[in-house]
Structure 1
């Protein structure tokens, strides 16, 4: 699929025309995590709509507010995606992963993915933060289907350590240093947009999932194909269906994320700052 490689080259060349510094850390700002972008110094904003090939032609009017935001966190060059694409919006798996592929081609050493998720683990409380140790892809889709180009990455990438153990350890230490409690667990990625049924949650719990959401999995698969290390962080915004007594609503998700934004932004900043040595390792 040589066409994808050429499109990525054009996207990256356009961005580099206005963003001369190569980012070392890439960040996907999930639901409620957007305030992190305000922590970057000397920010440069590139609108999604202006980046060649990022938005499919049939979705050219979508994501008008989306942007790639670059800047520095301390001495670390960072590139953020202000919002992600979702399967439930009608984007294909390859389209969902395209913005992440741009970050990887820009030269990031590590990708930090964030999201809001429903809690399946009964030990989790609303507002808890969870470091993702692994995921279960329940979408039945994969962004690598049809792609066989070594310039992009292996066709059959290993996913044994999809979420980098060293980054997880760094994140745990970072959380401890600022007194923020973090859980660890497995994230189940579903297609959405309907929330899960109690029976589906019971199944996911049996499979070993601790949290569930409608994003992240496509991003991580694409990043690992391109040999970029990943650290994942979920905020538990609600009890999954059948775990708590209340009905689930999108309003609840946004409300919880607003309440904990100081904690989420503070932790993400500390984690990325703590990973500076890894990001500077040219052997990575």
Structure 2
């Protein structure tokens, strides 16, 4: 894995992706943020050595490099999911490559189901914490010390200073945001009413099928993380309705402008590590 990451990193450095500062993972329906990036490079995943290829509708499968709000960013337009059949090492491979490119700050986004009764479809939730209930852990197996320690501290998986910055920006712009705990399940099925109740009972506010493995691996490599979720359906007692991937895409798309505005200002005001 180390050699593959080095090979992929060298390929990206050789084509000019050499001053990256912020990594962004764009979830379902949120690819419109790319329109705000002054693009310098656009590389399909299938042209990148050792990269998996996204198989999910709505995930274009392209790596974007350019400038957003005065900072050099690498954006994944489409992520990889465990339910697609990838190993966790493949799901999280791009995060390790980002770190080797010199990126110290990771922004993740996703579409998810809300179980908090105060939430509504279209809400933007700042991820304060997460619960990992996926059947495989991205750090299982022999530890590679060149990536990070065997036992990873997770007392602050999502940067508190970045959470406060986003809350301040949202307040200044008059954009309502929620804050909560994201729980990750394997998928690809949407949750049953009983599963939604379980998610709420264990202390989560929203549930999805991604993000957590990426953040765990980022923390393994000592990266700072920030996450946003768009609530695209509700798993609230008595309000569980039929849902489809197409409906999730439409709901996420409706919040795209709001999220793009927040992320653009957020990156501009973000103080990066020296």
TM-score by length of 1: 0.91
Give the superposed CA RMSD: 1.7
Q: Name 2:227's counterpart in structure 1.
A: 232
**Residue-by-residue CA offset, 1:77-132 (whole Å, 9 max, x unaligned):** 11101110011111111110011111111111210000001011000111110000
For residues 72 and 248 of structure 1, do their structure 2 counterparts lie closer, same or farther at Cα, with a shift above 3 Å needed? same
Which blocks of at least 5 consecutive residues in structure 1 are unaligned? none
Task: State how far apart, in whole Å, the 1-side matches of 2:98 and 2:171 are.
Answer: 29
Deviation at 1:20, TM superposition (A): 4.1
Correspondence list, 1:154-165, <5 A: 154-165=149-160
The runs of at least 4 aligned residues of structure 1 exceeding 2 Å deviation read: 60-65
Task: State how far apart, in whole Å, the 2-side matches of 1:195 and 1:14 are.
Answer: 38
1:31 maps to 2:33:
no
Q: Name 1:115's counterpart in structure 2.
A: 110
1:82 maps to 2:77:
yes
The match for 1:50 among 47, 64, 80 is 47
Name which of structure 1's ranges 14-23 and 218-227 shifts more when overlaid on structure 2: 14-23
For residues 105 and 137 of structure 1, do their structure 2 counterparts lie closer, same or farther at Cα, with a shift above 3 Å needed? same
Deviation at 1:151, TM superposition (A): 0.9
- Secondary structure at the aligned position of 1:127 is classed as coil
Q: Name 1:149's counterpart in structure 2.
A: 144
**Residue-by-residue CA offset, 1:119-146 (whole Å, 9 max, x unaligned):** 1100011111000011111112111112
Task: State how far apart, in whole Å, the 1-side matches of 2:238 and 2:155 are.
Answer: 29
- Counting matched residue pairs gives 272
TM-score by length of 2: 0.94
Correspondence list, 1:160-179, <5 A: 160-179=155-174
Q: Name 2:91's counterpart in structure 1.
A: 96
For residues 157 and 230 of structure 1, do their structure 2 counterparts lie closer, same or farther at Cα, with a shift above 3 Å needed? same
For residues 185 and 11 of structure 1, do their structure 2 counterparts lie closer, same or farther at Cα, with a shift above 3 Å needed? same
1:216 maps to 2:211:
yes
Matched-pair contact (CA < 8 Å) for 1:136–1:188? yes
Task: State how far apart, in whole Å, the 1-side matches of 2:209 and 2:17 are.
Answer: 33
For residues 62 and 237 of structure 1, do their structure 2 counterparts lie closer, same or farther at Cα, with a shift above 3 Å needed? closer
Q: Name 2:12's counterpart in structure 1.
A: 15
The match for 2:243 among 248, 256, 265 is 248
Task: State how far apart, in whole Å, the 1-side matches of 2:13 and 2:55 are.
Answer: 23
For residues 218 and 30 of structure 1, do their structure 2 counterparts lie closer, same or farther at Cα, with a shift above 3 Å needed? same
Deviation at 1:19, TM superposition (A): 2.1
Which blocks of at least 5 consecutive residues in structure 2 are unaligned? none
Name which of structure 1's ranges 179-188 and 147-156 shifts more when overlaid on structure 2: 147-156
Name which of structure 1's ranges 239-248 and 120-129 shifts more when overlaid on structure 2: 239-248
The match for 2:259 among 251, 258, 264 is 264
